[in-house]
Amino acid sequence: MKLDRRTFIELIVGFSAGAGGGFMATPVNWKLMDDMTIWSQELWPRYQLGGLKGSLPQQGKVTHADSVCNLCPGGCGITVRKVGDRATKIEGREGYPVNDGGICPLGAAGLQLLYGPWRIPSPLKRIGKRGSGNFEKISWDEAINEVVQKLGNLRQKGQSHTVACILGSDEGTVPRLFDRFLTAYGSPNFIRTASAEDTYELALGLMQGTTGSVGYDLERANFILSFGSGLIEGWGSPVRVIQAHSTWRSGDLKDRATVVQIEPRLSNTAAKADNWHPINPGTEAALALGLAHVIIKESLYNADFIGKHTFGFEDWSDSSGKTYMGFKRLVRTEYTPEAVAKITGLPAKKILTLARAFAKAKRPLAVWGRGKGTVSGSLYECMTVHALNALTGNINKPGGVSARPQVATRSWPEVERDATALSGSRRPRIDGAGSNRYPLTRYLPDRWSQVMNGGKAGAIQALLVHGADPYFTTLDSAAVAKAFDAIPFVVSFSTCLDETAYHADLILPNHHYLERWEDLPTPVGLQKPILGMLRPVVSPQFDTRHAGDVLMTIAKSMGGSVASAFPWDDYETLLKETMGDKWGSLEAAGYIVNEGYKPSAWSKAFGTPSGKFEFYITAFDQAGVKIGKDVGYLPHYEPVQPEGNPATYPLILIPTELMRLADGAVGNPPFCTKTLEETELKKNDLFVEVNPKTAADYGLSEGHHAMLETAKGKAKVLVHLFEGIMPGVIGIPKGLGHAAYDDYLAGKGVNANSLIGVVEDPVTGLSAAWGVRAKLTRV
């Protein structure tokens, strides 16, 4: 059977019509998958595995093994089909609580990352100019000794605080090991890569006084109001959300859920919503407040929750008699539908209709986090959207939102730090998180490079990177490249030759996720705690080692208190001890889910200074956050101006994200790149989306070459006319523009991050903008 690009795209587009089974649920579709696997093997002339050069699997016993996918934050359960010890297919695992048999294109392509030419076969040391791709193979002993020597020298010089780690997550045993290493070594610089979680965790802490990640009960909501979230583009756990979308569409029209999408572009999520409301980029907070105005004015809010369990809704007075404005007066005064219409471009009548429909729904849910949730975003914007959930009383309720904890595991012994560790850990963080300027923020992942380039070039002397590709994914690529050049020693633990590994001095390759044990905590956005377990389903294909084992070997080789902080024999021993009495269930079933978990009742749910849900944020003063005006204590609209002079750059460039295009720590496999439309990528040329009216203003037509320029850089692109994007707005896909990997990905398209800079949130310091000002010139 021949599988061309169009056939496969039609296959993908059809996923949302299924009966909740997720992507690819029929034998026919899996036959197409088999054809694609054969295609991929024939495509790669360098494809080798155990002497099999591009050949089909040898005959042998067919078995199946269960594990968990970690290629994105979704954490889906998978079943791997094997012939002998060779994996031949990845399917979604039936009954797994996250995805129940479904799988996304990236997850299905995992074998290309296991057996493909991107794999790093052994420890490598750079021998040429950084970024030249010239490495030599070295032994594990040589590699570990070099790390120990470099880090040991820095510590002896009293420069332990100049070592930093960048990871893709801070949850799970492996990230905790890296954090523990820095604690024992003497550095405060553990950094997590950017995501919407950065901001939502802060919003939950400020408004609810809770710690934990946001959990959305999507499956039981009956009115989903999405503020730019790419619900079927890969937001949260992609397959879980797609299956929830099928649930929303099941039953008769009377019982179906309503889905409304707010964003300036007709994404797949918008196209499959009941209503799409395009608004001016960056005005989502204003719209949320306009909806709140109608809900409050017409008394459509949950009076019981607002009256008994919130603080700052009404005006209030302190002990001295000073009166402070409440949320109610703010939105009634400043955010009328007419005023909000002028800001957002959405007619006042539609604002009225939307507000009433949302508030009158039985289980309304407002969802925040633009695109796939890969950008931190504005704190006030997040808070205004979360305030809508509070107005309807849908906090900790079925079909609502909650602050979801993780599955509890055994704690580790406290690190006994020596004088060097104590001194180094007390030094300011390189990214400024937790400083007097940004006291609330734990990580500022887009800021460390800006700081280094701003006069602190020697602030990082050694950088360890695991589970992340900051060289590619961090905003303002030129600034990141400059910062990397200033770091004398970069160590990557990557499995594949990604951008960061390509620019590293030393690569200590981790096992592939199908070759190792590792716990995977609750995926992003899931409403109930779950702990999944990656397990080795095939033997290691190359001379790689588990990153946890490598890090512990480095620590033990350093001796002293650093070595004492790691009493375990190896990572697997640590993992079993940490899981405690849960290990037996995890080893047998591959996961644990707390089915009996229920969010706290309103009377016990909030740990704020007032003991209630806070519209007026009293924690700002307690944390020492400097708020310049009274309105700053309330969720409000504070425009985040995209970078660039409007006179020079009259257009707005926004990133667009696709299910078929990975744009995180993992490069897009050929399996997925093959499915890109001819209006997205043509050979190596990238298309940008432009409204026909805007194109006409600049003398551009379909397929024309144009120069796309921002304050951060410029790139030659092709023009795709798309009426689904607002006039004056340009859409650029994220995930292309790699220089690393190989010919099947390198050199294709443009890295959107090379054109978009950082606009800091005034309260958190996190990157708040979703786009940048730009101009298009025909060439």
Which structural domain, as residue segments, surrounds residue 517?
124-195+408-593
The whole-number average pLDDT for the span 13-17 is 37
Are 394 and 425 in the same domain? no
DSSP state of 125: E
Q: Is 92 domain-assigned?
A: no
Burial letters 375-390, b for 16+ CB under 10 A, else e: bbbbbbbbbbbbbbbb
Flag whether pLDDT at 53 surpasses 70.
no
Q: What is the pLDDT of residues 164-216, one digit of tens each?
A: 999 999 999 999 999 999 999 999 999 999 999 999 999 999 999 998 899 99
> What pLDDT is stored for residue 17 in this prediction?
34
Query: What is the 3 state secondary structure string of 556-616?
Result: HHHCHHHHHCCCCCCHHHHHHHHHHHHHHHHHHHCEEECCCCCCCCHHHCCCCCCCCEECC
Strands 506-507 and 489-492: parallel
Domain CATH number, residue 705: 2.40.40.20
CA atoms within 13 A on the CB side of 693: 8
Q: What tokens does 122 get?
A: 């052994």
Domain CATH number, residue 535: 3.40.50.740
Burial of 54 (0-12, 13-18, 19+ CB in 10 A): middle
Q: Is 633 domain-assigned?
A: no
Are 357 and 376 in the same domain? yes
Structural contact between residues 76 and 68, judged by C-beta atoms closer than 8 angstroms? yes
The whole-number average pLDDT for the span 461-483 is 97
Q: What is the pLDDT of residues 721-770, one digit of tens each?
A: 999 999 999 999 999 999 999 888 999 999 999 999 999 999 999 999 89
Are 259 and 384 in the same domain? yes
Flag whether pLDDT at 259 surpasses 60.
yes
Q: Rounded distance, CA 459 to CA 445, Å?
A: 15
The whole-number average pLDDT for the span 393-404 is 96
Are 395 and 470 in the same domain? no
Flag whether pLDDT at 29 surpasses 90.
no
Residues 6+ away with beta carbon under 8 Å from 169: 73, 175, 192, 467
Q: Is 209 domain-assigned?
A: no
Other CB atoms within 10 Å distance of the CB of residue 632: 16
* CA-based nearest residue to 445, from 464, 484, 426, 473: 473
Are 375 and 418 in the same domain? no
Confidence of residue 24 (pLDDT cuts 50, 70, 90): very low
Flag whether pLDDT at 38 surpasses 90.
no
Q: What tokens does 507 get?
A: 């690569």
Helix (H, G, I), strand (E, B) or coil at 356: helix
Q: What tokens does 83 get?
A: 């012939």
Helix (H, G, I), strand (E, B) or coil at 303: helix
> What pLDDT is stored for residue 19 in this prediction?
37
Flag whether pLDDT at 8 surpasses 70.
no
Q: Is 208 domain-assigned?
A: no
Q: What share of the chain is helix, strand, coil (3-state, %, to 5)?
A: 35, 20, 50
Give the residue from 399, 433, 465 where a domain finishes: 399
Flag whether pLDDT at 699 surpasses 90.
yes
Structural contact between residues 178 and 417, judged by C-beta atoms closer than 8 angstroms? no
CA atoms within 13 A on the CB side of 759: 21
The whole-number average pLDDT for the span 494-515 is 98
Confidence of residue 56 (pLDDT cuts 50, 70, 90): low
Domain CATH number, residue 331: 3.40.228.10
Q: Is 231 domain-assigned?
A: yes
Are 276 and 339 in the same domain? yes
Q: What is the pLDDT of residues 629-640, one digit of tens each?
A: 889 999 999 999
Which carries the bigger pLDDT value, residue 214 or residue 40? 214
Q: Is 745 domain-assigned?
A: yes
Q: Per this entry, what is the length of the chain?
A: 779
Amino acid letter, residue 57: P
Are 447 and 562 in the same domain? yes
> What pLDDT is stored for residue 78 in this prediction?
98
The percent of residues in the chain predicted with pLDDT above 70, rounded, is: 92
Q: Rounded distance, CA 729 to CA 656, Å?
A: 12
Phi, psi angle pair for 258, to nearest 5°? -100, 135
> What pLDDT is stored for residue 35 in this prediction?
44
How far CA 527 is from CA of 247, 368, 382, 406, 603, in Å, comes to: 16, 15, 18, 10, 20
Confidence of residue 255 (pLDDT cuts 50, 70, 90): confident
Q: What is the pLDDT of residues 59-104, one digit of tens each?
A: 889 999 999 999 999 999 999 999 998 999 999 999 999 999 999 9
Q: What is the pLDDT of residues 358-396, one digit of tens each?
A: 999 999 999 999 999 999 999 999 999 999 999 999 999
Which carries the bigger pLDDT value, residue 20 or residue 649? 649
Confidence of residue 298 (pLDDT cuts 50, 70, 90): very high
Phi, psi angle pair for 337, to nearest 5°? -55, -35
Q: Rounded distance, CA 602 to CA 589, Å?
A: 34
> What pLDDT is stored for residue 642 in this prediction?
95
What does pLDDT average to over the chain? 92
Which carries the bigger pLDDT value, residue 743 or residue 298? 298
Give the residue from 372, 399, 426 where a domain finishes: 399
Structural contact between residues 694 and 728, judged by C-beta atoms closer than 8 angstroms? yes
Other CB atoms within 10 Å distance of the CB of residue 30: 15
Q: Is 373 domain-assigned?
A: yes
The total number of structural domains in the chain stands at: 4
Are 445 and 551 in the same domain? yes
H/E segment holding residue 381: helix 379-391
Give the residue from 350, 373, 399 where a domain finishes: 399
Residues 6+ away with beta carbon under 8 Å from 265: 278, 654, 656, 689, 724, 725, 726, 729, 731
Are 414 and 395 in the same domain? no
DSSP state of 346: -
Are 309 and 413 in the same domain? no
Burial of 563 (0-12, 13-18, 19+ CB in 10 A): middle
The whole-number average pLDDT for the span 273-292 is 97
Are 429 and 569 in the same domain? yes
Q: Rounded distance, CA 241 to CA 249, Å?
A: 12
Q: Rounded distance, CA 744 to CA 758, Å?
A: 30
Phi, psi angle pair for 236, to nearest 5°? 65, -130
Helix (H, G, I), strand (E, B) or coil at 423: helix
DSSP state of 496: B
Q: Rounded distance, CA 406 to CA 528, Å?
A: 8
Q: Rounded distance, CA 545 to CA 120, Å?
A: 11
The percent of residues in the chain predicted with pLDDT above 90, rounded, is: 86
The whole-number average pLDDT for the span 662-683 is 94
Q: From start to end of 221-341, where are the E strands? A: 223-229, 258-262, 275-277, 310-311, 316-317, 323-324
Q: Is 507 domain-assigned?
A: yes
Interhelix angle for 284-297 vs 379-391, to 10°?
Answer: 20
Confidence of residue 253 (pLDDT cuts 50, 70, 90): low
Flag whether pLDDT at 27 surpasses 80.
no
How far CA 752 is from CA of 73, 213, 578, 687, in Å, comes to: 21, 28, 40, 12
Interhelix angle for 571-579 vs 173-185, to 10°?
Answer: 110
The whole-number average pLDDT for the span 519-523 is 95
Are 414 and 373 in the same domain? no
